[in-house]
Structure 1
Amino acid sequence: MSTEIKRPGPGKVPPQLVEMSWDPITRIVGSLGIYTKIDFNQRQVVECHSTSSIFRGYSLFMQGKDPRDAHFITSRICGICGDNHATCAVYAQNMAFGVVPPPIGEWILNLGEAAEYMFDHCLYQDNLVGVDFCEQMVKETNPGVLAKAEHTEAPHAHLHGYRTIADIMRSLNPFTGEFYRESLQMSRTTREKFCLMEGRHVHPSTLYPGGVGTVATIQVFTDYLVRLMKYVEFMKKVVPMHDDLFDFFYEALPGYEKVGQRQVLLGCWGAFQDPNYCDYDYRNMERWGEAMFVTPGIVIDGKLRTTNLVDINLGMRILLGSSFYEDWQNQPTFVDKDPLGNPVDRRHPWNQTTLPRPQKRDFQGNYSWVMSPRWYDERTGKYLALDTGGGPIARLWTTALAGLVDLGGYIQATGHSVKIRLPKTALKPEMELEWKIPRWSNALERDRARTYFQAYAAAAALYFVDKALEEVRAGRTKTWSDFKVPQDAIGCGFHEAVRGVLSHHVVIRDGKIANYHPYPPTPWNANPRDIYGTPGPYEDAVQNTPIFEENGPDNFKGIDIMRAVRSFDPCLPCGVHMYLGEGKELQIVHSPTFGVNPQVP
């Protein structure tokens, strides 16, 4: 349906505003939909809403459960990163139960989680995100870019073997591309590594509060190491190849840095515990949090605000905003003060009460099942819509700025970069990689960071294998510590799921779970506008994104929008169905909000 467009004054280009939506962009924690209004004359997205149409309810049915079962149940939140949930739940259980695993138990858990990062990032980057940059997709959306790629030499061809950028694009074609198939095979070996440590993928069978059930032998770590070295060699090809590809897009499409760009507001909750420091005591959480092998932190406008997990925890606020829930303001609180005596806000996850209220979606009111997590910045009094950047960019950025990580020559955080040393492998010499803090938090840099973090996880795993073998050779092979479930306790676990921040908050009363709230990266990234009107990160990143696709509205695929959304790794965003809103053009009047105010006549 078309309607007349109100014509602007002489010399101005008339807006051509079209509603377009992609729903669903499938993911595990709900069904993601992206609804936009695009001005095709200005070649820009002017409005975006992010929706989720599925309610999960884990916070409700965890109530009354045995606290020892928390990790087994919450693993089922996700069919992709269930082990991340199990790990985070174990961290929260360890704190609530007051139990400390033996060192080798931590090294085994670290090795399992490192394998998960390698597996998921490899599969997602090369077999899902990579399709957005493959020859077939670029040919359909930007044939001019493909023509230039055919004549552009790849600067690191001697490292990855592809002579031109177009050759790289062809290698990414699904099912027929050489690199696409190679990555599928490599992701299989990474899953094997995971199962050696945690028994089963994706719902671990050997994780428990107090440690793990994996039998620690030289054989099991050697089996892991054999597969790891193949992955290390693979990384020596992958990193320079992706650097060439992403750098080319900046060159071929001037201004592409604006695609998916938003203010640098990054959150990382840290990953990989150091058993020399970690005792899971909340009162010591600042100390053992900063000893993690991925440093927790919050980055605001490129500067590190804090690395203190206590501050990060206390700053968490769950706002309702445009979501389908009743307010819990009149409900009783569970936790008034943390173990250090600090007051705990009513909107903190420890005190949250989930009151679902199904209703019709209304973009002027409530339109999503995702709540709006925010981090309260006491210095400014603002509720910050942090994003995870898909996980890796936030992890690398906080670790680089903090400068605390130094893993025995494998990884070094410098204060402005992260250096990663990959040792000599069967066919390739030693290689040092350096991820440098980028100028932007945008689609391409989120994707680039994902590649570098694959190398980071591999290098960290080499260090963890060394430490685990030291324990075995010294005869310290006990992997689990006994514990008792207290009648009343609180706990919190902080971890990094593959795609970003993950926390679990538990309250135990009379030996049962009284309150439990897991907060994975999806709510942080995919949330709708909050009570102050602040858009969520997906919405913010897509809004004002320029359109470089050469197709018009009749054959529009939305590749720039999809690259922006997929750069956040919103679980499996491969099942995209496109709805064009019948291609209707909307009447336009000027508005101070977006410059235009779409109204359906």
Structure 2
Amino acid sequence: MASSYLFKYDWTKPVVIEPIVRIKPELGIQVTVNIEGENQVRATEAYAGAGMFRGFEIFLRNKPAPDVIMLASRECGICGEHHQFIERIAQEMAMGGYAPPPLGLETIMLANDAAMVYDATVHLTALGGPDWSSLFFKIAGYYPPEIYQLAQQTPISKVLEYSEAFPNGAPSELKFSGVTMRTVADIMDGLVPIIGAIWLEGAYVWRIMHEAEVLYYLRIPHPISMVPGGIGVPATVENLQRYLQRLVDGTAYAKKQVAIWEILNLFLNDYGNVFGVQAYYDKNFNNLGFAEMGNRPGNFLCYGQSDVSEAPSVTPSSTPVSPYDATYENMGAWGRARVVKPGLVIQKSATSPPELVTNSLIDINLGMREFVESSFYEDWVNNSEVPSEVSGISQDPIGNSVSPYHPWRKWTIPQPLARGYPFGSGNSQGKYSWAMSPRLVPYAGHKPVMNYFFNVEADPQAVMWAQVLQPQAPDPIYTAVYSSAGIEIQYNSNEQSVTWNLPQTISSRIVLPPELQGEIEIKYVSPWMLSSKLSNGSITVATNAVERMRARAHACALDAGGAWIAWFSALNYIKNGQTAVSRGNQYDWTYKKNTNTDVAIGVGLKEAPRGAQWHSEVIALGSGPTVPTINPQQIQPTTVNSGPRVTKSYSDVIGTISPYPLLAQNGGAGTFEEVIQGNPGYNIQGVPKLTVTPLEQWDGFEFAATLRSFDPCFVCGVHVVLPNGKVRYITLGAPIDLSESIKAFYKFAMRVK
């Protein structure tokens, strides 16, 4: 138990946790709880309020369109390369399909997939990982120390008996930074920041995967090498060799990372009540423990990622797949050819499992809507400020109707207002956030399948749900074989699983147990299937906080597979003398009319490390490097997740659309709001108190840890604003004064010295 607390908390009133910093945009959460006893506390209502306006959609207007590709990379010091990547796609589409040559595309993918592996590893070790370390179980006095004692008594070999992740055989022990780990507690110790063995070895992997990126992006953050139609860095055998050395180590670590999070997920969630965790919480807190932390309905959005220059062989062969060609008309086919497949997943009721509606990026694009009823913006529909060439867009490039609430027709009009406390009380319209509210209308075959819209989750959990359900799509995929690297991905929607192979990785720097050294298969099973199977049907969850961490580890390993596919493909092109990495020159860049108004439109969709990332463009017609943008629009994954409440119905091209009834009954809450307060229509309760901190000193750590499981950009600290207006800072969730933490760090550093 922590020895001192700076403030007492009055949880009879809504408490604001703000800001959860370094996310897009800055986020505050207002939480109301129900108290039935010292340890029987749950969130009942939550409001997510983004606290900063950045304005990129405004000041990128009228800039030379090719310059926007470079400017987009400056938007973020964490994932600027992914902004640049999808801005390139949007502009190549506006040029009518100005795709890079095969080697150029694979060179971009080498850098992209290294960036994905890097970022996932950073979160799992340094940003989100510490929330599940022994720091919070035995040092800071948060979670019950009895859980750590159970972890000390539980061998990892016992936990992995309940895992299906390693069909070729699971390890009985793991080694990180020279430390052998045999129990769950060893893993918790390894995740302690700065000194934990997992953290330290992870830091090496961050560095080498950034080095792999820089081989092709030249600079991180803010790369400078991508242009429409390619990349300005030649791929050479020497570069590929340097990349390979780093990819071997990164893949080796990714294999172990899957094991870490399989173990922690199975132990902490304890769906089968076999490790004592669920029994402890049932007895002392009257809840199921971590299995109830961060649940929400199974509504997910994934754009897929890792484009290919050679389409995979898929079954059934009738499913259209094609190499990336940057055209809108083929976007469904080249999206399905990606190593990570796209998908919109919807859960219709509490008792039915999530289902895949579509794996077509065209369908997903057509279904996107944005609303501002709770946001500090004016509605742009029928607003005279919107240029006619934007408001008049009524068709996509293949003639489908485009909603007035689609980003192609959206015009960003800030409306600064006081937020107030409680949220929304500071203005007559009840607005409380600078985030807009993205919502998805399900489309299939380029037609809406219902007149409802859904708030969705965008993160690696969404990625893995989209993979396991690929056989349910109108254009189903059961297997995808990428022959250049010998990688086969198998999708099984009946058992909600996806299986893929990774090559042999033997390294003196990243030590693997014998079971993981050779070519192995990795299998991901959905939370719904896993929880139902282990609990004999008494527990079914679509996601929770620890499950998001497990999903990220698996997504990282799948991204490593994409890197191997790109590496072998690039090597083959060089061997065959296909050395071009870009096409034409800047005076060949021609933006072509492809809609009903005199503009060129395009959209770039891709998974970024934090989830589904969107850039759309409306660009003037013309050729050369000075053609201006008219309406650049962006939807970041954290915007998808943090978008505030939407309760109204709207007149749309498909008729009146409104929130899905089970979501409307929940106050139209957005994803971050829903994951804290729960959703009664789906029999999901709010996040419970799981820590042993006395109630008057409890700081709502569970809420911050739940949001951190999404990795909302770069969460490094939270401060709580009490109803009396006083501020209390939290560093990594520990209840310590910042000055004292700095002193403690220097004392530790001197001992090490």
Same fold (TM over 0.5): yes
- Aligned equivalents of 1:196, 1:371: Cα separation in 2: 36
Deviates more, 1:54-63 or 1:375-384: 375-384
Q: 1:563 corresponds to which residue?
A: 705
Aligned partner of 2:15 among 20, 30, 33? 20
In structure 2, relative to structure 1, the CA distance for the partners of 1:368 and 1:29 (3 Å cut) is same
What does the per-residue CA deviation read over 1:259-289, in whole Å, with 9 as the maximum and x for residues that have no partner?
1111100001121112232211112222222
- Aligned equivalents of 1:236, 1:282: Cα separation in 2: 36
Q: 2:394 corresponds to which residue?
A: 336
1:105-124 alignment runs, 5 A limit: 105-124=104-123
Letter of the structure 2 residue corresponding to residue 60 of structure 1: I
1:232-251 alignment runs, 5 A limit: 232-251=251-270
Q: 2:691 corresponds to which residue?
A: 549
Letter of the structure 1 residue corresponding to residue 716 of structure 2: C
Deviates more, 1:244-253 or 1:122-131: 244-253
Deviates more, 1:37-46 or 1:363-372: 37-46
Q: 1:430 corresponds to which residue?
A: 519
1:148-547 alignment runs, 5 A limit: 148-155=150-157, 156-160=171-175, 161-251=180-270, 252-253=277-278, 254-276=288-310, 277-301=323-347, 302-331=354-383, 332=388, 333-362=391-420, 363-364=423-424, 365-377=430-442, 378-388=448-458, 391-402=459-470, 403=477, 405-408=480-483, 409-415=486-492, 416-426=496-506, 428-439=517-528, 440-482=542-584, 483-486=588-591, 488-510=599-621, 511-532=627-648, 533-543=667-677, 544-547=686-689
Structure 1 residue 225: deviation in Å?
0.7
Structure 1 residue 411: deviation in Å?
4.2
Q: 2:283 corresponds to which residue?
A: none
Letter of the structure 2 residue corresponding to residue 105 of structure 1: G
SS in 1 for 2:453: strand
CA contact (8 A) 1:135 1:146 kept: yes
- Aligned equivalents of 2:505, 2:630: Cα separation in 1: 51
- Aligned equivalents of 2:99, 2:186: Cα separation in 1: 51
SS in 2 for 1:445: helix
Q: 1:594 corresponds to which residue?
A: none
- Aligned equivalents of 1:175, 1:16: Cα separation in 2: 33
Deviates more, 1:90-99 or 1:406-415: 406-415
Letter of the structure 2 residue corresponding to residue 127 of structure 1: A
Deviates more, 1:42-51 or 1:113-122: 42-51
- Aligned equivalents of 2:364, 2:173: Cα separation in 1: 44
- Aligned equivalents of 2:291, 2:450: Cα separation in 1: 28
In structure 2, relative to structure 1, the CA distance for the partners of 1:583 and 1:134 (3 Å cut) is farther
Deviates more, 1:78-87 or 1:434-443: 434-443
CA contact (8 A) 1:159 1:236 kept: no
What does the per-residue CA deviation read over 1:505-559, in whole Å, with 9 as the maximum and x for residues that have no partner?
1111253211110111111011111243411101000111122111122221423
- Aligned equivalents of 1:249, 1:43: Cα separation in 2: 19
Q: CA RMSD in A?
A: 1.9
What does the per-residue CA deviation read over 1:222-270, in whole Å, with 9 as the maximum and x for residues that have no partner?
1101111011222232211221112111231334222111110000112
CA contact (8 A) 1:374 1:383 kept: yes
Structure 1 residue 174: deviation in Å?
1.1
SS in 1 for 2:631: strand
Structure 1 residue 111: deviation in Å?
1.1
- Aligned equivalents of 1:220, 1:72: Cα separation in 2: 23
SS in 1 for 2:30: strand
- Aligned equivalents of 2:638, 2:309: Cα separation in 1: 29
TM-score by length of 2: 0.73
- Aligned equivalents of 1:170, 1:346: Cα separation in 2: 52
Q: 1:55 corresponds to which residue?
A: 53
Deviates more, 1:70-79 or 1:465-474: 70-79
SS in 2 for 1:350: coil
CA contact (8 A) 1:322 1:531 kept: no
What does the per-residue CA deviation read over 1:562-597, in whole Å, with 9 as the maximum and x for residues that have no partner?
22111111011122112333499xxxxxxxxxxxxx
SS in 2 for 1:514: coil
Identity %: 34
SS in 1 for 2:465: helix
CA contact (8 A) 2:101 2:583 kept: yes
- Aligned equivalents of 1:28, 1:16: Cα separation in 2: 26
CA contact (8 A) 1:29 1:56 kept: no
CA contact (8 A) 1:29 1:77 kept: no
Structure 1 residue 86: deviation in Å?
0.1
Structure 1 residue 383: deviation in Å?
1.3
Structure 1 residue 479: deviation in Å?
0.4
Q: Gaps spanning 5+ residues in structure 2: where?
A: 1-9, 158-170, 271-276, 279-287, 311-322, 348-353, 425-429, 443-447, 471-476, 508-516, 529-541, 593-598, 622-626, 649-666, 678-685, 727-753
- Aligned equivalents of 2:396, 2:725: Cα separation in 1: 54
What does the per-residue CA deviation read over 1:345-398, in whole Å, with 9 as the maximum and x for residues that have no partner?
11110000111011110424111100001112332311110111xx22212221
SS in 2 for 1:478: coil
- Aligned equivalents of 1:246, 1:341: Cα separation in 2: 46
- Aligned equivalents of 2:289, 2:123: Cα separation in 1: 26
- Aligned equivalents of 1:147, 1:21: Cα separation in 2: 33
SS in 2 for 1:17: coil
Letter of the structure 1 residue corresponding to residue 382 of structure 2: N
